Structures are given as structure tokens and as C-alpha cells.
Structure 1
Amino acid sequence: MSTAFRLLLCVLISAPMSGLLARDLQIGVYGSPPFVITDDAAPNSRLRGVSIELWQEIARRRQFQYQFHPVASIPEGMEQLRAGQLDVLVGSLSVTRERTTRVDFTHPYYSAFQGILSRQAGFSLLRLARKFLSGGLPIALGVLLLLLFLVGAVIWKLERDINPHMPGTFGRGVGTGMWFAMVTFVTVGYGDVTPRSP
């Protein structure tokens, strides 16, 4: 009983497919080069292109018989597909959310991305300054200058009374202290300014 049921189930499942393959498949064609190319000079407007060749290879492998039917627009082809006048729609069809609710699509075999190509602008000091002043560079430079100022002020405060090379005024003294801090930070030696305090 189980074997007979399985055999009956196989016959019922394959019956719609065998009816479909007993006739030529009606293939709607829409698109533009390189996907669909119509050779208007040839008799019967011979079709070729990437999508056409892909369909022909599928049909050859699956042994499908088919007839091409050019359609004027994607909506017209989709409507004929839904009405059963076409079995397949071939061409440069984009997959959209709205279209996927109406018909089934195969996996896309071509993806395109759009970009803009423009002429490179010439050299500009303003553009160069914007590049350097954007992001974290101004903040880092500001923190570095603040630290140099604080260290320079501390050095001036400690050295002003005992070091004859340290200017007595605040502005010049802090500047000399900043110079001392910077030279100490970036080199091994102290250069022309050395501390006198213990």
C-alpha cells in the first residue's frame, strides 16, 4: 500500500510539470544592451545578449522548447506573466521590493553600482588648511600647547630668581620655559637653556 501511494504521489506531482513541458515555453523579453540586443536588420529580429544567452543555455541544459516574445515595458511583461500569457520574463530586470510581491525572481547575476567621477581640483592653501584643521589634530595641538604653557610657567616660577638666563617678566619667562620644555622633550640635550634649581 505504501509503495502504491508513493507511486501515485509521484504521478500527481509530475503531471503539472509534464503538461508545462509538452508545450513551448513563452518567454517575454525586455531590456537593453548588453543584456538584450535586437538585430533589427536580421529576419525575424534575431535576439542576442547576456540575458538571452543565459536563457538559451538554461533551456539547452533542461531541454526546454521556447518562443521569444518581446514586450514593450517591464510592467507589461509582469502583467502578461501574472496573466499566464508568459512563462518567464528575461532581460535587464531590476529586483525591487514591490516587484517581489508580484512575481518570483531568480538570483541576480549582475550587480551594478553608481558613482560620480569628477575632475580633481587644483592646489589650494585653504583646502590644505581645512584638511589639517579637521578631525582631532586641532584638539591635540591645543592640549600640547596648554601642557607646554603649564610646564613653561612652572619652570619660569622655579628658575626666575636663581637663573640669570631666565627672563624676569612673565611673558618672556614662560616663553623661555616652554622652549626649555620642548627642547628637553624632543632631544637629549638642553640646548642653550639649562636649569639651575636643584
Structure 2
Amino acid sequence: MRLPHRLFLIVLAGLVWLVGSYPLQARPADVVVPNAHQSRPQAQQSDEPLQVVTKVFEPFVIKDGDDFKGFSIDLWTEIVRRMGRQYEFIEVETVDDQLAAVAQGKADVAIAGITMTSEREHSVDFSYPYFKAGLQIMTRRERSLPFVNLMTVIFNPAMLEIVGIFFLIMLIAAHAVWLVERRNNPDFPQTYWRGIWEALWWSAVTVTTVGYGDKTPSRLCGAHVGPILDVRRTVFDRPFYGRYHRLAHLATVG
């Protein structure tokens, strides 16, 4: 295998790794069970009802006479239906009472609007998250210059991260195309700086649009880079643009 093809495969592997390594965001959870060593064995190894400690926390837990309803209650009802188990609710006043009941083995499950914290995780286990609260803090708007707001957004670390990732993707794609096309395609000159400049232009218009058609790879390996960039744009542009619009909103509201 000739050297340009080897370099192309190395660069292409780096592009695929970069695209696939974008982190996902975590969400809060609010179902609590005992740690493994704290579980109530009699409830797990027999058919006796599970003891579920809860508190009123609308709209997740709503007291309706002697019954409970709400989002968390509906979810728990479906869980035990699939488990084929019976359960009993124990009502308490505070979240601390719920956590204490589970940690001390007096209850099997605590359910309501319970926020996951690192301190609480030392004594109980949380379920997977099923609701994102989306809490925000509002403050009085301060008067500021639009230019200052714009500069704040442009040099925000999150914005620099977005720009840096996009530029790195374009740079990797440009080198991959140039290494393959430089000997047989006049659109990508053999000299490094001129060739990379033309390849970077091609990768930029491919990443941001569908390409202008003024430069096209002629070899099979080079032609595969374009579809990879299109897949990256389809899968990953939404979170990137979402972060961009949130940052741009800061420039308008101050």
C-alpha cells in the first residue's frame, strides 16, 4: 500500500473517532432504592407487598382522598404491573424522611420529585432519570452595549469549542482529500499550502452546505469523505446549533 493511502486511512479513522466521541448530557433522576447491602430481603424473596414511601409533590405525587395519583405514581404502577407485585404506600412529610426510610431498610422504594445529589448517593441508589426539571434562575437585566455582548458570545468557551471542533473536522477532511487527489486532480494542487487551502475550501462548503460543485474528488477514496461529512452534519449539527442559538440569545437579552 502506498504512503498516501496509509495516511488517508489514518486521517479517516481519526475523523470517525472524533465524530463518534461527542459526549452526551446526563439528566436528573427521582426514584430511590436501597443500596445493595441495605435491601429488605423479605420483600425481595417473598410475595409480600413492596413498601413504597412517598410524599405529596405535585404534579408527580397528588393526594386524592386516600389514594395517590400523578406522574410518578403512574410510572410506578406500570412498573409493578410488569413485575407482578403488590405494594403499599407509606406517606411521609419530607424528602429526608423518604431517604431515611429507604436507607434504614424500613421501605423498599421512595418515589416522588427526589433530586439526585452526590451526598444522597452515598446512602441510597437512584433509578435512571425519567424527567428533566429544566429549572432556571432569573435576574434583573443589566444595560450593556450590544458589541460587548457579541464579544462575550464569540469568546465564550462553549462557542470556541464549537468553532474548534468544526475546524478540526474540516482540517482532517481536507488532508484526507488532498492526500488522495493531489497527484491526479488539478482542483487540489500538489504543493502543500495551496493544495490544503483548496481542500479546506471544499471541506468547508461540504460541511456547511451540500457543496458548490466547483471542486469534486475524482478518486474513489476521496469521494467517500463527502458522504462521511454529510452523515456527521445530519447526526451532530442539532446539538451544536442548539448550543450556538443559546449563546446567540445571550447577545440579544444581555
TM-score by length of 1: 0.49
Structure that is richer in helix per residue: 2
Give the structure, 1 or 2, with the largest relative contact order (CA under 8 Å, sep 6 or more). 2
